[in-house]
Amino acid sequence: MTADESPHEAEASLVDEPEVRRELADGNRSSVAGVVSGHPSSPLAWTELADIADSEGRAIEAFAFAAVAADLAREQLSESGWQPGDPVAWSDERNRPYLRALDTQRRAAEQLGLDSRATRLADELATADSDAPARIASEYTPTQLMTIIAAPGLIPPATGLEARAADPTDEPAAHDAAGED
């Protein structure tokens, strides 16, 4: 290595938070605020809280929680040598709270009509990892719930269908005679 060359520096990463991950995994949606209270400097905990608010349509809270998560993440990243504009790899799972927080804050900003803020956040996310927006959209949806079984009265009963019991030994009715022996 010559004097003009500098050693390749490792990419900056957020601090690993196994205790926070464990508490989040052991809890449920209603316990996330308690995890944040127990770990107020955790970008991961704040990001989870932001995602819940976002999934429940609470844009103001989602924006605020995600802003806290992103700021805490920027502080951690800066402590490990990161500077704004440097890459933050999605492939390093520890970095995902920062990237998710940017995306959640961007979506909330759009809902609130903060268009220039939403654009800046989208740019920051794309600069950090250009693949992150697509990865977040396609892979990370743990707090989005899908109704599997509808509540009574939401789906009208089928009409015009007649239920019949058949003898299992009966030959099936042929609707098309083609191909018969």
The answer to whether position 119 is within a domain reads yes
pLDDT at 142: 43
| Residue 50 placed within a domain | yes
- Residue carrying structure tokens 């999934």: 55
159 occurs within a structural domain: no
Structural domain count of the chain: 1
Q: Please, are residues 53 and 112 in contact by the beta-carbon 8 Å criterion? A: no
Q: Look up residue 103 and give its amino acid.
A: D
Pick from 80, 82, 16: which is nearest to 43 by CA?
16
CATH number at residue 80: 1.25.40
Q: Does some domain include residue 95?
A: yes
- For residue 46, being part of any structural domain is answered with yes
Residue 152 located in a structural domain: no
Residue 93 pLDDT > 70, yes or no? yes
Average pLDDT along the chain: 81
Domain for residue 122, yes or no? yes
Report if residue 174 sits inside a domain: no
36 in Cβ contact with 42 (< 8 Å): yes
Rank 9-13, 94-98, 154-158 by mean pLDDT and report only the highest.
94-98
- Structural domain that includes position 24: 18-139
Give the containing element (helix H, strand E) for 94.
none
For the stretch 124-153, pLDDT in tens is 999 999 999 999 988 765 444 333 333 445
Cα angle, residue 14 at apex, residues 13 and 15 outer, rounded to 5°: 120
